[in-house]
Amino acid sequence: MIKDALVIDGTGTPGQRMDILIKDERIVSVGHFPKHNADQVIDAIGLIATPGFIDINTDSDHYLTLFTDRAQNNFLLQGVTSIIGGHSGSSLAPLIKGSLESIRKWVDINKVNVDWNTVEEFLSVVERLKLGVNFGTFVGHSTIRRGLIGEEHRALTDTELKVFENLLKESLSQGAFGMSTGLRYNHAQFATEKEFQVLVSVLADKGGIYATHLRDEKEKIVEAVDEIIKRTEESKARSLITHFRAMTGYEDKFKTAFDNLVTASKNKFIDIHFDGYPFDYSIIPIYSLLSDDIRKGSIEDMCAVLASSEGKKKVLSELSNLNGDEFIIARASGFDYVVGKSLSEFSKNQELSVSEGLVKLMINTKLKAVLFRKNINLDETIKALFSDIGFIASNSPSMVEEKNVLTNERASHTFSRFLEITEKSKSNSLEWAVNKITKKSAEFLNIKDRGVIAEGMYADIVLLDKNQAVHVFVNGRLAVSHGVFQDIYSGKVLRKEQV
């Protein structure tokens, strides 16, 4: 029994002081039970009880920390009990050739022995792993495309597209929540509109979600958003634009794009949403700073360009106007001494210009470094996140901290920070904020029996003190007690409900 908590149940209605009875994995009753005995009683006077938070966009699969950090501590300790992966066009399944090539821009893919191909097989592996949180996934457009045609950059043939269509249908039937695209990345840039029409139509027909990284977040963000609005309107699929944020210097274009999204959701009766995070920095793989024509190839192809004098000269010219103070080196395997330094500091220590220092870092790390870039207008981003069509998501992996990796607050504090910002804003209630990060997220994903504190629901419950998680239940088990992980791995695999 959770005794005398202020229960904010996720529905948006005002909180009430009540008790919560849990048996096995489920909530059996919510009310007042002064004479009821329980095997374990948690005194929750002064604490707020909410449903477990749902992080709709995470990267623990991309960084393979599903395997190296099974607890998913960064998420659990802030009250996140369910996470969704498979974003930006890359997922861990289906694997046509058993290869994780589509995620090698994030991690060393040799860390894991792959013994699955289909979504069903992958989710079975995750079930055997026993995670600390619930986990579900999208399937990546680039993952399947690369499995079909390797590193070729071209349109799919009709036969290949048919194979893709069948694979997508099979993956949805096996529990994938939808398909994601990374429209700025190589493989998606060569996909035709016909390809997208066919695949997104499958999503609409099967009740799947179309999640996408925009084609452009700066100069052409309005056109990029309009592309997704048009695709959503034509297909009638539910759509999610991932990590939508106001990039510094492009605020006016962002506001226009955001207004277009709100208008489309209201006037065209389409189900289109976005997710974002309440922080002012992006996490970028260092290779993403290269121009589109160089990024057309594989990591090895890009390194070959940098190794040539002509290619290096071209890259230096294209990167000559960067502000080195905007960039912090977050990860540089084999060069731990540079982690935490700004690009300006690193370049100055090397007696190089900022562009020369960046290229040297690219070459030394074989394009595997990761940078934090302070390039987001937080005020404008939060205004958008406060809208009805905005979800909160970390867009980050949970990671066991290493001395050679810069701490990523987005992984560990996204939801507590959102609650703090809501409280300070005074324009929205805590009940409103909890509804956004629990019930609304569960409804959009069509996850049954989660997102609300009510009889019969799974007991994913967070007890908060000053917006910080004190106790966290996952499927009825106390995974975090007094802010400490209890070595409890009670997470379940989440699967899309079949239409």
* pLDDT average per 10 residues of sequence, the chain (499 residues): 98 97 98 91 97 97 93 97 97 90 75 92 97 98 94 92 98 98 87 97 98 96 98 97 97 98 91 97 89 80 91 92 93 88 95 95 92 95 97 92 72 97 94 98 97 98 98 98 98 92
Same domain (yes/no): 365, 332:
yes
| Beta strand spans in 195-271 (E) | 209-213, 238-241
- Note whether 297 and 425 are same-domain residues: no
Residue 117 lies in a domain: yes
Looking at the structure, do residues 368 and 416 belong to the same domain, yes or no? no
Tell me whether the omega of the peptide bond preceding residue 278 falls within 30 degrees of 0, making it cis. Answer: no
Is 157 found in the same domain as 70?
yes
396 and 261 belong to one structural domain: yes
State phi, psi for 188 to the nearest 5 degrees: -70, -25
Whether residue 189 is found in the same domain as residue 318:
no
Domains of the chain: total: 2
Q: What gap in Å lies between CA 344 and CA 324, rounded to an integer?
A: 4
Residues 382 and 363 occupy one common structural domain:
no
Angle made by CA atoms 32, 38, 41, in degrees to the nearest 5? 80
Q: At what angle do helices 299-307 and 354-364 cross, to 10 degrees?
A: 130
pTM as predicted: 0.93
**Which of 398, 424, 445 is the C-terminal boundary of a domain?**
445
How far is Cα 156 from Cα 154, in angstroms, rounded to an integer? 6
Mapped onto helix, strand or coil, the DSSP state of residue 114 is: coil
In a domain, 16, yes or no: no
Considering the domain architecture, whether residues 272 and 315 belong to the same structural domain is answered as: no
Cβ pair 60, 69 in contact under 8 A: yes
Based on the domain organization, do 331 and 241 belong to the same domain? no
Indicate whether 464 belongs to any domain.
Answer: no
Regarding whether 269 and 123 lie in a shared domain, the answer is yes
pLDDT of 401 = 62
Shared domain for 345 and 381, answered yes or no, is no
Q: Which residues pair with residue 178 across a beta bridge? A: 209
Residue 362 and residue 332 in contact, taking contact as beta carbons nearer than 8 Å: no
Domain assignment of residue 215, given as a range:
53-280+376-445
What size, in residues, is the chain? Answer: 499
Q: Which run of H or E residues covers position 196?
A: helix 193-206
pLDDT of residue 269: 81
Last residue of a domain, one of 344, 373, 402: 373
Three-class DSSP labels, 6-18:
EECCCCCCCCEEE
Distance CA 324, CA 306 (A): 20
Which of 427, 445, 463 is at the close of a domain?
445
The CATH number given to whatever domain includes residue 155 is 3.20.20.140
Residue 346 covered by a domain: yes
